[in-house]
Structure 1
Amino acid sequence: MQLYLRNWYDKFLEEISKTKRLRIVAPFVKEQILQKIHENFDFANLEIITRFNLRDFASNVSDLNGLKFSVVNKAAVFGVRQLHSKIYIFDDRSAIISSANLTYGGLVSNYECGVLLTDKKTIHDIREHFEDLKSIAGNQLTIEQYEDWENQLSKMEICNTSIPALPDYGSSQININREKNYFVKFFGTASNRAPMSYQVREEIDRALCHYACGFSINKKPRQIRDGDIIYMARMTNPRDYAIFGKAEAVRFIDGRDRATELEVEQRPWKSQWPIYLRVKNPTFIDGTMADCVLLSDVIKALDYESFKSTKEKYKNGERTINPSKSLRQQAYVMLTHSAAEWLEPRFQEGLNRMGKVDNEFIDSLPKSEIDIEKWQ
């Protein structure tokens, strides 16, 4: 193993002079350095895994023309969301793992840190990681896609040096079912936000959300279909929404999905929110609200692409979109599939870290009086 702290471009050129197949993982790329590499290497034997986030190109941290240059010269280019690795693999002989992106700064002028590895087992494992990332990415970039993105960027308006929200066309490891819709149902009110120390079990007990989510009489959830996915979020203080649970929706039916007298007696708040969206197969993070995924983090990551309504506004030409405002006085919100892909692994991470609320606790809670399987 050899350590390289700065200007390891000469070592990079030395390695590619002995290389038939070059594989690179780098979130950011620049045409300038790609042209230099092309002088010394046949791009028909180059594969690059990078990011396809248009915001990166708009802010000039990465270079869309660099991707075009690579594709035109027959390199295979793939995109993965949330990519942060920087890896350079030379055949099955050696690899460099580094802090350096595929830019002039990364390879020449910046203070970077990287190691050259030659151990066969390590190289094999790194190569397998590359193939895993490539399988997540799926299809490689085409010139037609490049032209579409270039067109989107050409229409972009920058106000006061602020880069507007732009889509990320990279792929994600989580393959959600795109036949389903994904929603976040809100629990609590602005006047009774829960502290971050509030236990998820307390909220399940209070809301009895293991079998149904409550709605006011004027907000019947007719938009939600059988099998759609419902994430459950408690309104918290500081102002946010902690996503503590997930379940499968059962389509709302008038005459069936309303709290009975006994159910109102069990939880008096149901007199104000008597309408049910019934759910099945619920899963809850067994911790506090602080252990859950925050909806504000979804918005920070995806901006207008967080919700179907805000994405439609963007498509219709709006550019000053505040996704948080779309949540005001709403019982629930529909996520985009991109947001569901972002949210799901983080929700699973919470379950893995804290564990799931066990069935013994769920079974100890009141049940619905209505057996939906037998209801006519």
Structure 2
Amino acid sequence: MSINLISKDFGEKFYSLLDSTEKQINIISPFIGLKTAFGLAEWIESQDNIKCCIITRFNREEFIRGASSIEGLEHLVRAGAELYALQNLHTKLYIFDDQSVIMGSANFTFSGFYKNHEFGLYMENESDFTKQCQDYFDGLLGKLKSDGDWKISLERILRERHYVNESIKNLKGKKGLNEFNIAKWGAVLNDVPQPTPPNGDETDILEDAISDITVNSGKTGIWLKFEGTSQARIRNDEVYLKRKRRINEYVNRTFFPRKPTGIKAGDTIFLTVVSKDKDGIEVPIIIGYAEAKGFIESNKINDTDSKYLKWNNRFPYYIEYTNGKFLNDSIMYGISLNELYRELNHKVYPATVNQPNIKIENIKKRHHQKSHIQITEFAKEYLIKKLNLLFDKHGYEEL
């Protein structure tokens, strides 16, 4: 599991993940800012069949003081987002499709995303942990719905805007806005942590969910990049670059179903073919490595390209690579991913490197259904040494 700390640029990370979101985004945030709400509303309106669900607070005092924006809620509802009100909410959670998550201290406001000193975690292309977070979101939403009708309607928002505007007008000229408006609306769930007195500590509702996770404080920039799928494995008697030329494919590109924004220029990628080993066992095979040029927004193929292939309908995004070195023999003679697991065990992935007792069966599951996954320096060193031995034996081609 690739888990990374984030202490700044929450907004940059949010929008980079939003760009690759295709089906739904779910948000839990006590406060909703006008600028962030307007930006998300515009994005929702520009998409086809996108779903957005948000759990937030609906407290008049917070609208009056500008901590949250009633106008922002209006933009979101008009764009088609579903909003629900929950009192005493403290959690901040952002879920993108079934792949990526941001969670931490940052509210969905401009200050939370760009100005405040915030801290959190983000997990990109991590379906297992994202599912746990989605299960939490669904469970909370289910309890909220069963408690009553707490969906925030446009009618309620327009009515609330009237009261908020009147309250702000009445407070003009009153020093310090000392009058407090107690009006609030939303579900009250007993199992949601209650706010503590001023200057006290608050308990985050997801604290237990991450207490046993070893956090990777930075990216390694080393990736396994899978080509082929479990439903359409590449024949193991093919030679990697010769096959690409035979099917009229770009030899210096590798394709993705989503924007691979995590891969940066200078990163190392190990090309890993979903195939079979010499014994006919279905397993990904590592056949070479290269230096990534990094993903840019223009890296998207379409049917106007002379080398366009029909299967790229599913994998439209790509990165280019250079300084490549690839096995010049059948794929089956490469390095089986099972071998890598057997030799390095918990040292294959950054998130398991400090978990020596983790079962190898659990380690093997980490790459399932992924187009690419980050690995450790240990794994890179092993693969380079082993590939060089294989190059000496079977030959290689540089690119």
Q: Give the TM-score, by structure 1 length.
A: 0.44
Q: Give the TM-score, by structure 2 length.
A: 0.42
